[in-house]
Chains A and B, each alone.
Chain A
Amino acid sequence: MNNLSAEQKKYLLMHRRHKRIVSISRILILLSFLFVWEFTANVGIIDSFIFSSPSKIALCFFGMLMDKSIFLHLGVTLFETIISFLLVIAISILVAVALWFSSKLSEILDPYLVVLNSLPKSALAPLLIVWLGATKTTIIVAGMSVAIFGSILSLYTSFTVVDPGKIKLIYTLGGNRFHALSKVVLPSSIPAIISNMKVNIGLCLVGVIIGEFLAARDGLGYLIIYSSQVFRRDGILIQSTTSSYISQMLSLHPDVRPEKIPQAR
Chain B
Amino acid sequence: MEQVLELKHIHYAYHTLDGETPALTDISFALNKGEFVSIVGPSGCGKSTLLSLISGLLEPEKGLIKINGKYLKESTTNVGYMLQHDELFEWRTIYNNVILGLEIQHMLTARTRERAHDLLDLYGLRQFESSHPSELSGGMRQRAALIRTLVLEPDLLLLDEPFSALDYQTRLTVGDDIGQIIRKEGKSALLVTHDLSEAISLADRIIILSGRPATIKQTIPLIFDLDADTPLNRRNAPEFKTYFNLIWKELNTDE
Residues of A within 8 A of B (CB): 163, 165-166, 168-175, 179, 183-184, 187-188, 190, 263-265
- Those 9 A-B pairs whose CB atoms lie nearest each other, nearest first: A172-B81, A173-B101, A175-B104, A169-B87, A264-B91, A263-B90, A187-B91, A179-B104, A174-B105
Contact check, B90 vs A169: say whether CB atoms are below 8 A apart: no
Contact check, A171 vs B57: say whether CB atoms are below 8 A apart: yes
Residues of B within 8 A of A171 (CB): 57
Contact check, B55 vs A173: say whether CB atoms are below 8 A apart: no
How far apart sit A165 and B48, CA to CA, in the bound complex (Å)?
A: 13
Q: Which residue of B lies closest to A168 (CB)?
A: B83
How far apart sit A264 and B132, CA to CA, in the bound complex (Å)?
A: 12
Contact check, B101 vs A165: say whether CB atoms are below 8 A apart: no
Which of B55, B57, B89 is close to A166, meaning CB atoms less than 8 Å apart?
B89
Residues of A within 8 A of B87 (CB): 163, 165-166, 168-169
Contact check, B83 vs A263: say whether CB atoms are below 8 A apart: no
Contact check, B104 vs A188: say whether CB atoms are below 8 A apart: no
Please report which residues of chain B, range 155-193, place their CB below 8 angstroms from some CB of chain A when the two chains form the complex. none
Residues of A within 8 A of B55 (CB): 172
Interface of B is mostly: loop
Contact check, A183 vs B100: say whether CB atoms are below 8 A apart: yes
Given contacts A165-B83, A168-B83, A169-B83, contact A174 B89 (CB under 8 A): no
The distance from the CB of B136 to the nearest CB of chain A, in whole angstroms, is: 15
Contact bitstring B40-62, A, C-beta under 8 A = 1, else 0: 00000000000000010100000
Q: Which residue of B lies closest to A178 (CB)?
A: B104
Q: Looking at chain B, what size class is its interface with the partner chain?
A: 10 to 19
Q: Does B212 contact A (CB under 8 A)?
A: no
Please report which residues of chain B, range 57-83, place their CB below 8 angstroms from some CB of chain A when the two chains form the complex. 57, 78, 81, 83
Residues of B within 8 A of A188 (CB): 89, 91
How far apart sit A173 and B55, CA to CA, in the bound complex (Å)?
A: 10
Contact check, B90 vs A172: say whether CB atoms are below 8 A apart: no
Q: Does B152 contact A (CB under 8 A)?
A: yes
The distance from the CB of B184 to the nearest CB of chain A, in whole angstroms, is: 22
Contact bitstring B81-106, A, C-beta under 8 A = 1, else 0: 10111010111000000001101110
Given contacts A169-B83, A172-B57, contact A184 B104 (CB under 8 A): no
Residues of B within 8 A of A184 (CB): 89
Q: Which residue of A lies closest to B132 (CB)?
A: A265
A165-B83, A179-B104, A265-B132 known; 6 other A-B pairs, CB under 8 Å?
Answer: A165-B84, A172-B55, A173-B152, A174-B101, A264-B90, A265-B90
Residues of A within 8 A of B148 (CB): 173
Residues of B within 8 A of A175 (CB): 104
Given contacts A165-B83, A165-B85, A265-B132, contact A173 B91 (CB under 8 A): no
How far apart sit A190 and B89, CA to CA, in the bound complex (Å)?
A: 13
Residues of B within 8 A of A190 (CB): 91
The distance from the CB of A176 to the nearest CB of chain B, in whole angstroms, is: 9
Residues of B within 8 A of A163 (CB): 87
How far apart sit A76 and B105, CA to CA, in the bound complex (Å)?
A: 49
Q: Which residue of B lies closest to A180 (CB)?
A: B104
The distance from the CB of B48 to the nearest CB of chain A, in whole angstroms, is: 11
Of A166, A168, A183, most B-chain CB atoms within 10 Å: A168
Given contacts A170-B104, A183-B104, contact A263 B91 (CB under 8 A): yes
How far apart sit A170 and B89, CA to CA, in the bound complex (Å)?
A: 11
Contact check, A172 vs B83: say whether CB atoms are below 8 A apart: yes
Given contacts A165-B87, A184-B89, A265-B91, contact A173 B57 (CB under 8 A): no
Of A165, A172, A175, most B-chain CB atoms within 10 Å: A172
Residues of B within 8 A of A264 (CB): 90-91
How far apart sit A264 and B90, CA to CA, in the bound complex (Å)?
A: 8
Residues of A within 8 A of B84 (CB): 165
The distance from the CB of A262 to the nearest CB of chain B, in whole angstroms, is: 9
| Cβ contacts A to B, 29 pairs, < 8 Å | A165-B83, A165-B84, A165-B87, A166-B87, A168-B57, A168-B87, A169-B83, A169-B87, A172-B57, A172-B81, A173-B101, A173-B104, A173-B105, A173-B148, A174-B101, A174-B104, A174-B152, A183-B100, A183-B103, A184-B89, A188-B89, A188-B91, A190-B91, A263-B90, A263-B91, A264-B90, A265-B90, A265-B91, A265-B132
The distance from the CB of B135 to the nearest CB of chain A, in whole angstroms, is: 12
The distance from the CB of A19 to the nearest CB of chain B, in whole angstroms, is: 27
